[in-house]
Amino acid sequence: MSEQSGSVEPTGFSTRAIHAGQEPDAATGAVITPIYQVSTYKQDGIGGFRGGYEYSRSANPTRTALEGCIAALEGGDRGFAFSSGLAGQDTVLRALLRPGDHVVVPSDAYGGTYRLFNTVLTSWGVEHTIAPMGDLDAVRTAVRPGRTRMLWVETPTNPLLGIADIAALAVLAHDAGALLVVDNTFASPYLQQPLSVGADIVTHSTTKYCGGHSDVVGGAVVVGRDIVVPGFEDAADRVAFHQNSMGAVAGPFDSWLVLRGLKTLALRMEKHSDNAERVVELLASHPAVSAVHYPGLETHPGHEVARRQMKRFGGMVSFQLKAGEDVAVKVCGETELFTLGESLGGVESLIEHPARMTHASVAGTELEVPGDLIRLSVGIEDADDLVADLKQALDRLG
């Protein structure tokens, strides 16, 4: 059933989530892939590796299971698991880009991703231009013919839930001789499979929805089948080589936690989406709220594209307050179920103030976010309780 073995692939998403890359343990029949908490492996004579395992930076059975599973969920060729989302992204960038290359980066990129481009990559001679990825003409203008080798996309974006058209950007990228890389963290592979609509590579912070329980930091990269962009046909081999050479691999226990999280991803994403819809209903009708950002709203500028490329609209919601920044900050401290905290995608609901928390580092740049904005990661508690919690805070302070 392993994706990488090329055998018959189970078709349903949850069937893949529960079985792909995973077989009952050969030695004991344990139905769940064990945590192979080990660094090295007995060789049957020099070079006689059992199952190819030699040393756990290069490969570890728990990590192999996760890598096979995430590749199957994204419909890709090969999966790679990392110690964090940024470690995976850094590995993709340094495996595939060379000095003099140029990348188009979203104007509302995840702050840590932007920092990679803006500090780490610039010192390696890789240049970037920032563009709003929802605006195809702006992206076309940002492309430097012959030099742009990658378009980097997040959709939905953080924290304003902007939508980019993956299929259209794939055509644009490929016409320019560039790869399309999609950070699929916000949607998760359950709601959106970028490779199926033309993207070449997908990245995840598995810290978020894939892990889903706020108990692990991790990353994943999935490289698509049959990459046709000239010079990148061997992208999967290059990522594999750099994963081992740079060494930011996911450990066995972290791999196991993410693998366990993936098994319930479909159920969780349905509930996150149900609850977010209820929360959006409250926010859209509350007099204290000046704007709600959620791709499921028909008034959202990316709604039609989101409907085309997403199964549902997910658990992330942001909104702005008429009363401005100071009140927005207060509201973040007045909820009881929504816990004040960074990160997202766990079973518990979180609330935060992007301008002073997750996006404080981009203040004064093109990525600055509005001060009256609040971001919610809507969890899978009971919707009535979540709505009541937000309502009391808004009624009192908004």
Ligand X SMILES: *Cc1c(COP(=O)(O)O)cnc(C)c1O
Q: Catalytic residues, which ones?
A: 57, 110, 183, 208
33, HSE (Cβ side, Cα atoms, 13 Å): 30
Min. distance of Cβ 204 from ligand X in angstroms? 8
List 2, 60, 148, 158, residue binding ligand X (CB under 6 A): 158
Which residues have a Cβ under 8 Å from the Cβ of 146 and sit 6 or more positions away?
Answer: 177
What is d(CA 244, CA 57) in angstroms, rounded to the nearest whole number?
Answer: 6
Residues in 235-264 that interact with ligand X by CB under 6 A: none
> Which stretch in 37-45, 109-117, 233-241, 332-340 sits in contact with ligand X by CB under 6 A?
109-117
Residues in 296-325 that interact with ligand X by CB under 6 A: none
> Which stretch in 21-29, 90-98, 108-116, 268-276 sits in contact with ligand X by CB under 6 A?
108-116
- For the chain, counts of helices (H) and of strands (E): 13, 12
Min. distance of Cβ 109 from ligand X in angstroms? 8
- Whichever of 86 and 321 has its CB closer to ligand X, that residue is 86
What is d(CA 154, CA 114) in angstroms, rounded to the nearest whole number?
Answer: 12
| Number of amino acids touching ligand X (CB under 6 A) | 16
Judged by DSSP in three states, 269 sits in: helix
Residue 224 is a binding residue for ligand X (CB under 6 A): no
- Whichever of 2 and 309 has its CB closer to ligand X, that residue is 309
Residue 179 is a binding residue for ligand X (CB under 6 A): no
- Whichever of 75 and 346 has its CB closer to ligand X, that residue is 346
What is d(CA 174, CA 132) in angstroms, rounded to the nearest whole number?
Answer: 18
Q: Which amino acid is at 174?
A: H
CB 166 within 8 A of CB 194: yes
Q: Find residue 79's DSSP bridge partners.
A: 222
- Whichever of 85 and 398 has its CB closer to ligand X, that residue is 85
CB 168 within 8 A of CB 180: no
- x/- track of binding to ligand X for residues 186-205 (CB under 6 A): x------------------x
Judged by DSSP in three states, 349 sits in: coil
- Whichever of 246 and 387 has its CB closer to ligand X, that residue is 246
- Mutual angle of helices 85-96 and 235-246, in 10-degree steps: 120
List 56, 62, 113, 320, residue binding ligand X (CB under 6 A): 113
Kindly report the three-state secondary structure assignment for every residue of 186-198: CCHHHHCCHHHHC
Residue 110 is a binding residue for ligand X (CB under 6 A): yes
Residues that bind ligand X (CB under 6 A): 84-86, 110, 112-113, 154, 158, 183, 185-186, 205, 207-208, 217, 219
